[in-house]
């Protein structure tokens, strides 16, 4: 039995070639793995910059939006949110012209980073304490269609492979009393169009976009409408030379270009094949998580990075988006992840656990570290009576040390008692995971000399 290839815009492929249902299923699986980060990124960007009714809405495109607080359980747009650093965001629409980002000088000793993320979720550039220092500068962010020379007064040009990009600023907060200092730094993060920087007339405005409604995280897993949203995002992602063959393969089932993928016009056999490919993609992810991520053979350091670092490993790119979209490249931060205890059993708040740093074995970092609690399956922060979502290095003076100088943290749903509550990280009643963050990790953390401890059931 065969299905036909091509794409007439109706969602029913045309008759320019023959593709078997088995091939449709395999191509759908490949396109899903490839496209999941783009579709989930679109969900977040839509909530931040397009949907003014969304509780997560930040504001207009091409402006800096500062969040002068750390994340709480009320922040639900992004899975595995960082609750260490106040964020600033730019949703960059680069179709008309580049943007100029001004970074102010920041005092030595305060970590900050500016992460540039394209629509594929690759990290294509960094500015900040590790990458460029704390001296400040002006950075030109350009889209794929810009081919100009670096203007005078620009520190560096960074170029996105997609028309839309996301810029995430993290500014270190030392304590609640430090928030006003962070606000002053955030006020210095500025952005303007290149034409304004050059005092020139602006170019013609790009065509207005009718942003389509995204799927929910649950719908993304099973709804064939996923591929219509993928088609929408691909319009703003010019085909990379290395992916011409791959994108041509996707096009044989109507994915890519200006096609509209309409699930309502699919034949029953085609719909079954498409849905089977989506299920196959998740099966492949689940195998990766069970056999490699949960066992430590693959770490989150392998899931985030530049196009050069990740290459064509689209499964790892998908896994990064599933587990913590917009994660940093390993040079900037690494994220030891725990969904199981030291015996390999799933973490669950019906049990009590300890998490112990032996003497001299705190995470080796040049900036700071943290251990954050997330409820599953949503991978979101956990509301609790003491409003503590993490334990981090800034809290060390308030933690109770063990007699030998190590530190034991208590991971459980109920208080471990007044004498241990300083070291308590509250857990939900059900399944949970832990993410350790090492910002600006030392070489010992990158090369495996230092290993993160595992939670131990008590």
HEC sequence for the chain: CEEECCCCCCCCCCCCCEEEHHHHHHHHHHHHHHHHHHHHHHHHHHHHHHCCCCCCCCCCCCCCEECCCCCCCCCCCCCCCCCCCCEEEEEEECCCCCEEEEECCCCCCCCEEEEEEECCCCEEEEEECCCCCCCCEEEEEECCCCCCCCCCCCCEEEECCCCEEEEEEEECCCCHHHHHHHHHHHHCCEEEEHHHHCCCCCCCCCCCCCCCCCCCHHHHHHCCCHHHHHHHHHCCCCCCHHHHHHHHHHHCCCCCCCCCCCHHHCCHHHHHHHHHHHHHHHHHHHHHHHHHHCCCCCCHHHCCCCHHHHCCCHHHHHHHHHHHCCCCCCCCEECCEECECCCCCECECCCCEEEEECCCCCCCEEEEEEEEEEECCCCEECCCCCCCCEEEHHHHHHCCECCCCCEEEEEECCCCCCCCHHHEEECCCCEEEEEEEEEEECHHHHCCCCCCCCCEEC
Instruction: Tell me the mean pLDDT in the region 87-98.
Output: 98
Q: At residue 222, what are phi and psi to the nearest 5 degrees?
A: -130, -20
Looking at per-residue pLDDT, the higher value among 372 and 176 belongs to 372
- Is the distance from CB of 435 to CB of 390 less than 8 angstroms? no
For residues 292-314, one letter each, b for 16 or more C-beta atoms within 10 angstroms of the residue's C-beta and e for the rest, the string is ebbeeebbbbbbbbebeebeeeb
Contacts from 279-285 at CB under 8 Å and sequence distance 24+? 279/222, 280/25, 280/26, 280/29, 281/29, 281/32, 281/33, 281/36, 281/318, 282/221, 284/29, 284/33, 284/315, 285/33, 285/315, 285/318, 285/319, 285/322
Alpha-carbon span 266 to 274, nearest angstrom: 9
C-beta atoms surrounding 225 within 10 Å: 19
Nearest residue to 58 via CA among 174, 215, 168, 222: 168
Going by pLDDT thresholds of 50, 70 and 90, the confidence category of residue 269 is: very high
Give yes or no for residue 17 having a pLDDT over 60. Answer: no
Looking at per-residue pLDDT, the higher value among 286 and 12 belongs to 286
- Is the distance from CB of 432 to CB of 374 less than 8 angstroms? yes
Instruction: Point out which residues pair with 439 in neighbouring strands.
Output: 333, 368
Looking at per-residue pLDDT, the higher value among 56 and 9 belongs to 56
pLDDT at 8: 42
pLDDT at 6: 40
Instruction: Tell me the mean pLDDT in the region 277-286.
Output: 98
pLDDT at 14: 42
pLDDT at 13: 46
Give yes or no for residue 176 having a pLDDT over 90. Answer: no
Instruction: Tell me the mean pLDDT in the region 371-394.
Output: 95
Alpha-carbon span 456 to 283, nearest angstrom: 29
Give yes or no for residue 190 having a pLDDT over 80. Answer: yes
Angle at which helices 21-45 and 226-234 pack, to 10 degrees?
70
Give yes or no for residue 205 having a pLDDT over 50. Answer: yes
- Is the distance from CB of 160 to CB of 94 less than 8 angstroms? yes
- Is the distance from CB of 186 to CB of 86 less than 8 angstroms? yes
pLDDT at 2: 37
Give yes or no for residue 12 having a pLDDT over 60. Answer: no
pLDDT, tens digit, 9 for 90 and up, residues 209-234: 999 999 999 999 999 999 999 999 99
Residue with tokens 């390999």: 344
Looking at per-residue pLDDT, the higher value among 300 and 257 belongs to 300
Cα dihedral 289, 293, 297, 301 in deg (nearest 10): 130
Residue with tokens 């693959």: 298
pLDDT at 18: 79
Instruction: Point out which residues pair with 200 in neighbouring strands.
Output: none
Burial of 59 (0-12, 13-18, 19+ CB in 10 A): middle
Going by pLDDT thresholds of 50, 70 and 90, the confidence category of residue 7 is: very low
pLDDT at 260: 77
pLDDT at 370: 97
- Is the distance from CB of 143 to CB of 159 less than 8 angstroms? yes
Instruction: Tell me the mean pLDDT in the region 428-455.
Output: 96
C-beta atoms surrounding 216 within 10 Å: 9
- Is the distance from CB of 313 to CB of 130 less than 8 angstroms? no
Over the chain, what is the mean pLDDT? 94
């Amino acid at each position: 039995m065969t299905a036909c290839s091509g794409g007439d815009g109706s969602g029913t492929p045309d008759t320019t070639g023959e593709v078997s249902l088995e091939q449709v299923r395999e191509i759908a699986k490949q396109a899903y793995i490839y496209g999941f980060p783009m579709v989930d990124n679109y969900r977040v960007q839509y909530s931040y910059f397009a949907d003014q009714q969304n509780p997560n809405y930040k504001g207009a495109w091409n402006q800096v939006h500062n969040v002068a607080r750390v994340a709480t359980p009320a922040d639900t747009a992004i899975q595995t949110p960082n609750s260490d650093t106040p964020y600033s965001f730019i949703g960059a629409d680069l179709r008309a012209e580049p943007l100029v980002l001004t970074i102010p000088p920041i005092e030595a000793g305060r970590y900050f980073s500016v992460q540039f993320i394209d629509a594929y979720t690759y990290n294509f550039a960094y500015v900040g304490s590790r990458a460029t220092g704390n001296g400040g500068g002006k950075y030109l962010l350009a889209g794929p269609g810009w081919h100009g020379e670096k203007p005078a007064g620009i520190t560096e040009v960074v170029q996105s492979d997609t028309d839309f990009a996301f810029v995430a600023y993290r500014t270190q907060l030392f304590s609640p009393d430090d928030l006003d200092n962070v606000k002053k730094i955030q006020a210095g993060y500025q952005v303007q169009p290149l034409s304004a920087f050059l005092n020139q007339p602006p170019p013609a405005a790009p065509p207005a976009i009718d942003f389509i409604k995204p799927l929910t995280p649950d719908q993304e897993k099973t709804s064939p409408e996923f591929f219509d949203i993928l088609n929408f995002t691909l319009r703003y992602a010019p085909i990379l030379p290395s992916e011409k063959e791959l994108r041509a393969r996707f096009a044989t089932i109507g994915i890519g270009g200006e096609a509209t993928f309409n699930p309502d016009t699919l034949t029953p056999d085609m719909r079954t094949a498409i849905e089977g490919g989506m299920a196959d993609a998740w099966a492949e992810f689940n195998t990766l998580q069970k056999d490699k991520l949960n066992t430590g053979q693959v770490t989150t350091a392998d899931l985030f990075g530049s196009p050069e670092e990740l290459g064509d490993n689209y499964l790892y790119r998908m896994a990064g988006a599933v587990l913590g979209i917009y994660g940093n490249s390993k040079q900037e931060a690494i994220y030891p992840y725990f969904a199981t205890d030291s015996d390999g059993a799933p973490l669950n708040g019906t049990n009590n656990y300890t998490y112990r740093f032996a003497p001299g074995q705190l995470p080796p970092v040049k900036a700071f570290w943290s251990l954050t609690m997330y409820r599953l399956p949503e991978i979101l922060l956990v509301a609790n009576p003491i409003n503590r979502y993490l334990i981090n290095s800034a809290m060390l003076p308030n933690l109770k040390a063990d007699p030998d100088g190590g530190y034991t943290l208590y991971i459980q749903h109920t208080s471990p008692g007044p004498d241990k509550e300083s070291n308590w990280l509250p857990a939900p009643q059900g399944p949970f995971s832990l993410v350790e963050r090492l910002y600006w990790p030392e070489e010992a953390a990158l090369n495996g000399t230092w290993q993160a401890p595992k939670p131990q059931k008590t």
